[in-house]
Structures are given as C-alpha cells and as structure tokens.
Structure 1
Amino acid sequence: MIASYRVVRLAFLAALAAILAGCASSPAPQRVEPAMPRYTSPITPQQVVGKWGLAAYHRPEDAARTEAQARQGCRQPYVINAGPSGGFMMYLADDSQPSEVVSKQVGTGPIYIGLPNEPPGAQSDREVVRFDGQVLVLKWLDPEVAGRYGTMVYVRCP
C-alpha cells in the first residue's frame, strides 16, 4: 500500500511539474503588423457632390488664368456624384470609369483625396492645395501623372 501511495504521489508530482513547465514556456513570438494611422475625412461628400468646371495648369503662375478657364468649363461640367459607401465618385488617372474616393487627413497634416483603402499620401492620391467650397485645387502625388495632367482646378458651377 505504501508503494502504491508513493507511485501515485510521484505520478501526481510529475504531472504537476509537466503542467507548470508548460505554463512557464513562452509562446512563439508573433509578428505584429504596424497599425495604419487613423485618418479623418475633413472634406465631406456633401461639400463636393455636384457640377464643376474643370481646367488644369502646369506652372504656378497660370493658376489664376486656369481658374477663370475652369469657370467657363461649366458649359460641359465635370459631375461628382455621391459614392455607394459614403465617399464620392471621381476619375483616377487614366481610368475610364469613376472610382469612389474619400478625403483623408492624419492629424493636422495635408488633406488628400484618394481610395479609401489606401493610407493618406498614397501614390495614387491627390493633395488638396485649396478648398473653400467653391474652388477645389488638387495636385497629383505621382510625379509622372502630375507631369501629364498638371494641377487640377475645379470651380463649382452655379
């Protein structure tokens, strides 16, 4: 009886040691993806949905003249519609169909307009140079696209 008591006791101690050893081992390190910064959307779809005259310039000294040309563009306006997921519909570079975009800003940094699933300042984004509700000036971030399309000036049509 004493021998069986010792066997049970030793088995219990061995099991307890195994359990404690399992608890003491650290789990394999897991790779943690850096969190994307949360951005706000300072320009709402309601502020940009509508008809706009559109023109573009490549040299900053042409900005005022280009704004006047954009006003004349209201004869054949560029239409920005509301998007199905809360953004607004605009054409991306070289796309024949509009895509849903949003305005994006991290903290007090620059405001961008681009695809909602990309971080602010992505290569396909446009930086908001100016927006006052009546005039929207956007600069492409991709230098190659900016070289072809220039800085876009949108003027709200009456």
Structure 2
Amino acid sequence: MKLSRRFLRLSLIAAVAALVAACASTPQAPAPIEPAMPRFTSPITAQQLVGKWGLAAYHRPEDAARTEAQARQGCRQPYVISAGPNGGFMMYLADQSTPSELVSKQVAPGPTYIGLPDEPPGSQADREVLRFDGQILVLKWLDPEVQGRYGTMVYVRCPA
C-alpha cells in the first residue's frame, strides 16, 4: 500500500511537471508593438548649415529687412554652426548654455522644422524654417513664450 501511494504521488508530480513544461514551451503572444514615430525627411542638410553666420532677431514683421542687414553686421562675431557627431548640426536651444545636436525635419508636404532628432516635427522646442536659400535662414520658435523673448531669428551666412 505504501508503495502504491508513493507511486501515485510521483506520477502526480511528473504530470504536474509535464504540464508546467508544456506551458513554458508554448509560444507566447508577441509583445504589443509601439506605434512608430512618423518618418521625416531632412530637406536641409547639415552640410548646408555648417559654417559661420551673422545673427539678429526681430519681433515685428515690418523689421525683417532691417534685421537682415543687422545680421550681416553680426559676422564680426559670428554664430558658428558645426557638424554634429551623429549627422546633425550643433545649435543652441532656448536658454541652454551648450549646443545640442539638431536636425532638419519635415513630414511632406508640411513645413520644415529644426529641432531634436528624437522628437516629431513641430514639437514645442522646435523652430519653424520660414526661409532658407543657402545664404539666409529665418527661424521662428514654436513655443510662444520663447518666441516672445527671442523673436524671429535671422541668420545670414558670413563671407569666407
């Protein structure tokens, strides 16, 4: 009798172990996939922006032409945009004392922005490109508070 109980217990343990092993080996449902960030293009390359720029800013649209002339004079103490380590370009974000690597980004056919590469186009910290022709770059901050303090930025490429 004692032997049959022992055999029964061992059989039960073996059956439970087999069930546990079967559960562990059955394929699990795949983890949910996070939605991908929309793909964006870079209509302005880092190579187009790297260099020395005169910089000025305006708050009223009627001051745009005068500000462009002031930006040309800023080439005496240029704003330097350098190449970033990951293919972007180095510029300062609002209220930052060190430059960050930024990229140009756009979801076609929408506007072009300059901002952090890991954020979607049009994020609060981005700047909208109002004009770019290779020699003049005009950027508007999307954050209304920052725009109110810094205004619309005008960059004019400095002569070589």
TM-score under structure 2 normalisation? Answer: 0.80
Q: Which amino acid aligns with 1:49?
A: V
Q: Which residue matches 2:88? A: 87
Query: 1:33 deviation in Å?
Result: 2.8
What runs of 5+ residues in structure 2 fail to find an aligned partner?
1-22
Q: Which residue matches 2:77? A: 76
Could you list the runs of 4 or more consecutive aligned residues of structure 1 that deviate by over 4 angstroms after TM superposition?
27-32
Q: Which amino acid aligns with 1:82?
A: A
2:103 match: secondary structure: strand
Q: Which residue matches 1:103? A: 104
Q: 1:30 to 1:144 in 2, by over 3 A?
A: same
CA RMSD of aligned residues (A): 1.9
Q: Which residue matches 2:36? A: 35
What runs of 5+ residues in structure 1 fail to find an aligned partner?
1-21
Query: 1:107 deviation in Å?
Result: 1.3
Q: Which residue matches 2:123? A: 122
Q: Which amino acid aligns with 1:65?
A: R
- % of aligned pairs identical? 83
Number of matched pairs: 136
Query: 1:149 deviation in Å?
Result: 0.2
Query: 1:30 deviation in Å?
Result: 5.9
Partner Cα separation in structure 2 for residue 32 and residue 145 of structure 1: 35
Partner Cα separation in structure 1 for residue 91 and residue 81 of structure 2: 6
Query: 1:28 deviation in Å?
Result: 6.7
Partner Cα separation in structure 1 for residue 88 and residue 52 of structure 2: 16
Q: Which residue matches 1:12? A: none
TM-score under structure 1 normalisation? Answer: 0.81
Partner Cα separation in structure 2 for residue 94 and residue 143 of structure 1: 14
2:110 match: secondary structure: coil
